[in-house]
Each structure stands twice: as C-alpha cells, then as structure tokens.
Structure 1
Amino acid sequence: MTDPFLVSILLIAFLAFGGLSMGLSMICGSSVYLIMKGFDPSIASETLLQGLFNSYTLLAIPLFILAADIMNIGSLADRLLQFSQALVGRFKGGLGHVNVVSSLIFSGMSGSAVADAVGMGKIIINMMTKDGKYTASYAAAITAASATIGPIIPPSIPMVLYALVSDQSVGYLFAAGMAPGLLMGVVLMVMNAVIAHRRNFSVDEVVSLRDMPGVTFRAIPALLLPVILLGGIYGGVMTPTEAAAVAAFYALTISVVVYRSVRLGQFYETLLASARSTATVGILIAGALTFQYVVTRENVPDSLAAFLGQYELSRVGFLLAINALFLVLGCILESGAILLIIVPIFIPTAQSLGIDLVHFGVICVVNAMLGLITPPYGLLLFIVSTITKQPLARIVRDLVPFLFALVVALMIITFVPDFVLWLPRMLGYKG
C-alpha cells in the first residue's frame, strides 16, 4: 500500500520544483495526505487558522516589511550610506567596508536581507562601479554577502519565524543575534581588506574630519531608529510586535516630515509592495503550519530522535551535522521554508542533547541566511545579478572568499554558545 506521507513529500517536491510556491505546495501535499488517511480535509484549514490567530508575534512581520520598504523609498538609505562612507571610506578597499558597515546599520532597522540588498545594495553597487575602481561582480558579491547580516542583527523577520516554531522569546532571540551579526560584519571587513591589498584597490574619496559632524547630524534621525526599537523592547516599554509598528510609523514620519523625500504616489506603491511581500510570507507560514500537523501525525521528530540515537551523536557531532545539512538545504530551499519546515523536526533532538534553544535558533537563522548566497537557489545572488547585469558564475567566483569568512563566523557562533548568549543573559535570560 502506498504510504500517504511519502506521497505528500513527493507531491510537495514535484509542485515546488515545478514552479508553484512552497507554501501552496505544502498546503496541497498536506491536503492529499489528509484525504489518503481518511481525515476531514478541513483539518488543514482549522490548523492553519489556529496557528495564525494564536500568534500575536506574527503581526511583526508585515510591519517590519513595511518599515523596510518605506526606508528604501525615503532618503534614509542615502544618509546612512554617507555616514558609513565618512566612517570607514578612508581605508583601502573603503567602499567595500562602507558596504558592510551600511548593512550593519540598515539591518538594525529592516530585519530583512532582501530589503538590504534591494535598497542599500543598489546605491552602494553604483558607487563602487562608478569610476571602475571595483568590478561589478566584486561589488555584487560583497553586497550579497553583507546583506546576510540583515536578519541576524535585531530586528529580524527570520528570528520571528523561529520563535513561532520553537516557542522562544523574540526579545531574547533578538538580543542573541547582536554579537553574531557584528562578528559576521568583522570577518567580511577583514576579508575585504585582504582582497583590497591583494588586488591593490585604490583608496576611495575621503570625507574630511571637518565634514564629519555635518554628515553625522544629517544621519541622526535614521540612526535613532535602532536605538528606539531595541531600547523599547529591552526596556520593557513595548513588545517586538509593537516595536515593528513603531518602526513603520517612525520611518514614515522621518521620511515625510523630516527628510520630505516621499510622495503620496510612492507611499501607495510601497503599501502595495509590502502587501505582496506579506502575502508571500503569509502563504509560506500557512503551508508550514499545515504541513507541521502532518509531521506531528507521523511522529517524525520522535522517529528522527530515535534514528540519531542509534549513532550516539554528541552535542558537537549533532551541531556539525546540522550545519552541514542546513548549508546543503540552503542550496535548494528558501530560508523561510528551512526555518518553518526543517528546523521544527530537529528542535526535540536539540533539547534532548541539552542545546539551548535560543543559541540553536541563532545557528539555524545564520545557516538559513548563508543559503541566500549559495547557488543554485541563492535569492540574493539573483537580486545582485539583476542589479549589476553580471552572470551568476562571475559573482559566485568573487563571493567564495566572503562565503568562507562567513562559514568561519558560523563555526564560532556554533561552538562558543557563551558568545551568543552573554547579552540575553545580561537582559535576564536564564538559559
């Protein structure tokens, strides 16, 4: 007799690789499973609605998406870029450093790698290639690599997704991402410096110290956003969901009232774009919630734990296996699918091995972000390739050193849990 679960998996894979969105593929595969098992197919709808309505945290996602889109149409990105250039543009390979620093700052506002690459990425790539100082493929490579930092430093949409499936605090997950995000920025800047000296990149235009106060002053309203968000969350003034609403309102107010850089027509288009992005994420979450019911019915987490138990994997062995698996899956699956479908299967095993789930969440999110720059799926690769009109092969060639640097950072994040958890513990986390 045909196994309904196997049929469900094969159908999801067939539909997804055939071009249907992963969310709809999971809904279709889960519905077929329920029918073959003789269950009422409406269970899928019930599970979906309960999962969505019982998670207040999910409201943060559309609000962070809206905030990021508003920042991209306003002049916040331009001012942050000018500030970053004044800060680190004077060093060899300066615009490469500017690229990384601007991603670090912008990630404290948007929580989205795609928003970083599309908004800040377009501007910095044009700056890097303007006078032929950097090749277009190199500019694309470092832009894609630095954009992966976006969802690690808080706020972070992928961290919200992980909180949904792991029942962990969004606030502590945000705090746990701070040090790893900064580490990723440092290793990228070190690699950029090494390449800059090896290729003898010229020193870029230097902003004089006399102009620094003016550049900083113009960027202050934009720089205040991460301070307001994180201060509000960790000060107990607002929840992460409320912080997302504040981020969207603040970005709109600054863009319209202070910088006066957003027209009504632009704002309308931004609302439409945010709604489309939210719908895409929403369908993915809906499909994952439905498929999660199937996985639970099949007792997959316990079966996996028993299977791994046969090999008596240590904590180190399990984490190495998880990193290897997620890096491979990142080549073929989108980050949201990894976090919502694959990660929940391994959470019980991680718990049984005594791995802290906040630490495990950071490992999972970092792996998922590296998947954005690994071919053939690599969403960020497609974005920067579209911006620069460069073939993927050429971009990947320049990306390899940065990917190596990020994997080194991932190893530190994985095997030095105190490095990840020291800030959450300072804020009251007991893990």
Structure 2
Amino acid sequence: MNWTEIAILVLTFVVLLGIGVPVAYSIGLSSLVTILITMDPVIAFTTLAQRMATGIDSFSLLAIPFFVLAGQLMNKGGIASRLIDLARAMVGPLPGGLAFINILACMLFGAISGSSVAAASAIGGFMVPRMEKEGYDKAFGAAVNLTSASTGLVIPPSNILIVFSLASGGVSIAALFLAGYIPGLLIGLALMIVAGVVALKKGYKSNETTGVKIFFKSFFGALPSLLLLVIVIGGIIAGIFTATEASAIAVLYTLILSMVVYKEVKYKDLPRILLDTTLTTTIVLMLVATSMGMSWVLSYENIPQGVSDFLLNVSDNPVVILLIINLLLLAVGTFMDMTPAVLIFTPIFLPVVVQMGMNPIHFGIVMVMNLCIGLCTPPVGSLLFVGCSVAGLSIQKVLKPLLPLFLAMIAVLLLVTYVPALSLWLPELFGY
C-alpha cells in the first residue's frame, strides 16, 4: 500500500469537494489523478473509462430507474395523504400524536417508495405545518420528519441495498431486503419513544380522534398502496421474479394506482414525472460509474488489504473493530452521499468483517444504517437540507431538537451491530 498515492487520492477528492465540484466528478477526477502517477496517460484514461462503463453494466442496476419512477408516481399519486390518514387512525390520539403520525407515515411512505427524500418532502410538506398549527415547535417537527424519513432506506424495497449487493460481489438482494425490516422498525420505534418523551415534557397534546370505523376506512383507503409491498417483496421472496423484475412490476402497479384508482396523476403529468426520473437516475448512475472506477483504483493500490491489516493490528477484538468501523462510516456519512460511500467502502471493510466471521448480510444493514444517520447530519446531509427546506428553517434551528433523535438512531445502530439476530433472523427463516 503506497501512502503517497492514498494521500494524493484523498487530498484531491477533498479539495475538489471543497471548491464545489459535484461529488461524481470529484470521485472520477481524484481517481484519474491518482492512477496518472503510475500509468501512461492513455492507459490511465482508457482503464478508468472502461471500469466506469463495466461498473454500470449490471442487470441488478436496472432496478434503480424503475424504483425511482415508481417513487415519483407515488409522490404525485395521492399515496402520501392516504398513508397519513392511516397513521392518524393508528397513533393519532396518543400524547404527541402528530409526531407519531409523522414518523409512522414517513416509515410507510419511505418503505413503499424506497426514497427517503420523497418521504421527507411528501409527508413533511403536510405534517410539519400541521404540527406547528397544533402548538408543536416547528424545529422539532422538522427534526422528526427528516430522521424518520431515513427508515425508507433500510426498510425494503431500497435502492441502496441493491447497490450494496453490487459492491459486495453478489450478496442476495432478497436476503438484504428481508434483513432490513426489523432494524428499520426499531429505528422508527426508537424515534417514537424520543418523540413521546419530548411530547410529555413539553405538554404536546393531541386533538385527533379515532375509532373502529375511522380506522377501517383509512386502512382500506391505504390498502392498495400497502399491497405494493406484499406484491414486490412477496414475489421476490417466493422466487416468482427477481428484484429487477419486481421494480418493473412496481412501476406498472403504481401507474395503475395513481392514474386509475386514485386518479391523482393525469396524462399531462407523465412527461414531467419521466423527466424527473431520468434526471435522478442519471445522477445516481453517474455516481455508481465513478465510484466503481475509484473502487478499482483502491484495489489496484492494494488499499483494502492495507486497511484490513491495519485494523486487525489495532485489535483482534471484534467488538472494538466493529466500533472503529462504525465510527469511520459515521464520519464518511457526514460528507459523502450514500451511493458512492457504499461502492467505495464496501470493498475496504467487507473483507475485514468477513475475516472476523460477520455475515455480509448483517454488515450490509449496519453499513446502510450508518450512512442513513449521515444523511441527517451536516455538512452535506441531503435529508437535513430537504427537511429544513420543507419546514422553511435554517439548519442551526433544527440541530438542537435533532440531537436526541440522532442519539436514538445511534443506539439502535449499536444494538443491531452487536446483536446479529436482529438483521439475520428473517433471512434465515426464509432460507437465505
């Protein structure tokens, strides 16, 4: 492992980010500068371009544009309002009920759409003003909204779990989907506990009413949306179709749901939805391509083996090694988007944890949970920016109420890290 080349890679990447170069270009350019030191320019350019092209030449990655399109249709198709009605009927009358509604609705919408940003904007756009109107602190409402939206990246279907499957060399997507359920629900539960404590402390009451009739009305109103989870995840687990095929089925189902059943999406809306999907997919796949190029550079410089040797020399105690990896991933998540972080750091850390006997499925969930927390933290947390934008608040005002929710997410992360059964029980139950 050549420390000079590592220093050049890191320094170039940090400088490019610091001067405002987009993340994908920063990753690609820093990788190119690094290999230009040891390769002829023609070979360096050709090799990096080849690695970027082959990096996105994957059948599994076809699921990403389909799930993005399904999420766009859900965002416009009236699904959010129906999920909010269901959440209101389930937890609305409890003390601090509006905070619980926000959390539960974000979990449901994030799980169905697979997009945390869509959950934060769709649910937050309705719930944060409603919470403020009922006397809740607006910053607290924004903090609840943006942290609970992150659960959609752990609870399947999740694009980032598909990316981890690619980066890990083929860990089963179905197994990763199953592994995400319990950790995702635990994050939501922990956030509800914190929100409940805050509500009791500050005297936030609920004016919501519910009953059997209201519950069943809201449940059947949201049932067509909830059935998407059954169709997609059930079909994958039963072996009826692959994750990629499931993503195409999700698009067809949400198109019918949004245009025929709920009638919220019109034909005139489709060009804009398709354009937004194309832009999002382009950004994601550009990140994937350049990140795969950087992953090859890291491998070429023998960095994963060097990091593995270094960590194992620090300690041979799995508890200590996992704590160090968690701290490193939490730090990475504060300045790097999830997709490149998974593609770059999975080949570095996965060999270390596998050598310690950790199941790759378990590690995939731990990694994604770490990076989900990073989405809620400055300086580049996308959920933090979206949540603050939806609420019309500065980041500084949201940070104080965000802190206890942030600590709750870290507590669940540590629990899942050191209790493998929480993420492995369902995959093992279904034979993965």
TM range (shorter): over 0.9
For 2:26 and 2:314, how far apart are their aligned partners in 1? 33
Contact 1:92-1:197 at 8 Å conserved across structures: yes
The match for 2:167 is: 165
Contact 1:107-1:155 at 8 Å conserved across structures: no
The match for 2:370 is: 367
Counterpart amino acid of residue 221 in structure 1: P
- Unpaired segments of 5 or more residues in structure 2? none
The match for 1:218 is: 221
SS in 1 for 2:201: helix
The match for 2:69 is: 66
The match for 1:134 is: 136
For 2:369 and 2:310, how far apart are their aligned partners in 1? 26
Contact 2:312-2:321 at 8 Å conserved across structures: no
SS in 2 for 1:149: helix
The match for 1:289 is: 292
SS in 2 for 1:377: coil
For 2:143 and 2:150, how far apart are their aligned partners in 1? 11
Contact 2:315-2:321 at 8 Å conserved across structures: no
Residues 320-354 of structure 1 show CA distances to partners (whole Å, capped at 9, x for unaligned) of 11111111222222222221212321111111111
The match for 2:19 is: 18
Aligned Cα root-mean-square deviation (Å): 1.6
TM-superposed deviation, 1:388: 1.3
SS in 2 for 1:150: helix
Contact 1:151-1:157 at 8 Å conserved across structures: yes
TM-superposed deviation, 1:89: 0.4
Asked if 1:106 is matched to 2:142, the reply is no
Q: 49, 52, 55: which is aligned to 2:56?
A: 52
Counterpart amino acid of residue 16 in structure 2: L
| Aligned residue pair count | 427
The match for 1:30 is: 31
Pairwise mapping of residues 113-124 of structure 1 onto structure 2 (< 5 A)?
Answer: 113-124=116-127
Contact 1:113-1:150 at 8 Å conserved across structures: yes
For 1:105 and 1:137, how far apart are their aligned partners in 2? 22
Contact 1:71-1:77 at 8 Å conserved across structures: yes
Contact 2:56-2:285 at 8 Å conserved across structures: no
SS in 2 for 1:38: coil
Normalising to structure 2: TM-score of the pair? 0.96
Counterpart amino acid of residue 348 in structure 1: P
Pairwise mapping of residues 20-419 of structure 1 onto structure 2 (< 5 A)?
Answer: 20-39=21-40, 40=43, 41-53=45-57, 55-129=58-132, 131-167=133-169, 168-419=171-422
For 1:48 and 1:332, how far apart are their aligned partners in 2? 22
TM-superposed deviation, 1:145: 0.9
Residues 94-120 of structure 1 show CA distances to partners (whole Å, capped at 9, x for unaligned) of 111111111221122122211211222
Residues 124-171 of structure 1 show CA distances to partners (whole Å, capped at 9, x for unaligned) of 223222x24212111100001101101100111111111111021111
SS in 1 for 2:276: helix
Contact 1:92-1:204 at 8 Å conserved across structures: no
TM-superposed deviation, 1:67: 0.8
TM-superposed deviation, 1:386: 1.0
Counterpart amino acid of residue 138 in structure 1: F
For 1:78 and 1:52, how far apart are their aligned partners in 2? 36
Contact 1:180-1:413 at 8 Å conserved across structures: yes
For 1:312 and 1:409, how far apart are their aligned partners in 2? 24
For 1:123 and 1:237, how far apart are their aligned partners in 2? 37
SS in 2 for 1:333: coil
For 2:377 and 2:343, how far apart are their aligned partners in 1? 19
SS in 1 for 2:413: helix
Counterpart amino acid of residue 267 in structure 2: L
Q: Alignment identity in percent?
A: 34
Contact 1:71-1:251 at 8 Å conserved across structures: yes
TM-superposed deviation, 1:2: 10
Residues 258-299 of structure 1 show CA distances to partners (whole Å, capped at 9, x for unaligned) of 111112232211111111111111111011111111111100
Contact 1:95-1:204 at 8 Å conserved across structures: no
SS in 2 for 1:37: coil
Contact 1:92-1:193 at 8 Å conserved across structures: yes
- Unpaired segments of 5 or more residues in structure 1? none
TM-superposed deviation, 1:36: 2.5
Contact 2:16-2:26 at 8 Å conserved across structures: yes
